[in-house]
Amino acid sequence: MACKVENIVWEIAEPIALQNGVEIYDVEFKKEGPDYFLRIYIDKPDGNVSLDDCEAVSRPLSDALDEADPISEGYYLEVSSPGLERQLKRQKDFDRFCGEMIMVKLFRPRNGIKQFTGKLLARDEEILQIELENGEIIEIDNKDITVVRLAVTF
């Protein structure tokens, strides 16, 4: 159900975001405890999403969702930036952040390790390639990956 809701909400939210100079980065519809949350993550090419940007999308989006009524449950609407440690999901995300440091979590350990951090070199339909801090280049099957996030380094 959530996937269908997320796709419908994305279609409703996208023109509103574009009218306000931002793009939809991700849409999540999740039940947490007794409550449902609809989270819309917006982004800009420079990554600097402000509170004003979130508010500019949130108000008309709330009205559009009330009118379209794609969700039968009561929910909380949240519009925010994907943040510094944003999850990379779509190929577009991987292309944009190629060369950046990422953190990769696996379903099962590989050589006793379940999490890798390194520079994103490439990703296609089957393989993610990263360069570890020691210079070693590894390839990971996408089917073995549970999550990929940008890694914040200081």
Length of the chain: 154
Residues 13 and 40: their CA atoms lie apart, in Å, by 8
Total H helices, total E strands in the chain: 3, 8
**Domain boundary assignment for the chain:** 2-80, 91-150
Residues 147 and 153: their CA atoms lie apart, in Å, by 18
Mean pLDDT in residue range 30-58: 94
CATH architecture, domain 2-80 = 2-Layer Sandwich (3.30)
152 — pLDDT class (breaks 50, 70, 90): confident
Mean pLDDT in residue range 130-140: 95
Residues 43 and 53: their CA atoms lie apart, in Å, by 9
pLDDT at 2: 53
Residues 62 and 47: their CA atoms lie apart, in Å, by 23
What six digits make up the tokens of 45?
């090419």
According to CATH, what is the number of the domain 91-150?
Answer: 2.30.30.100
pLDDT at 45 > cutoff 90? no
Q: What is the pLDDT of residues 69-128, one digit of tens each?
A: 899 899 999 999 998 899 999 999 999 999 999 999 999 998 899 999 999 999 999 999
pLDDT at 116: 95
Contact 101, 150 (CB under 8 A): yes
pTM: 0.83
CB atoms within 10 A of CB 68: 12
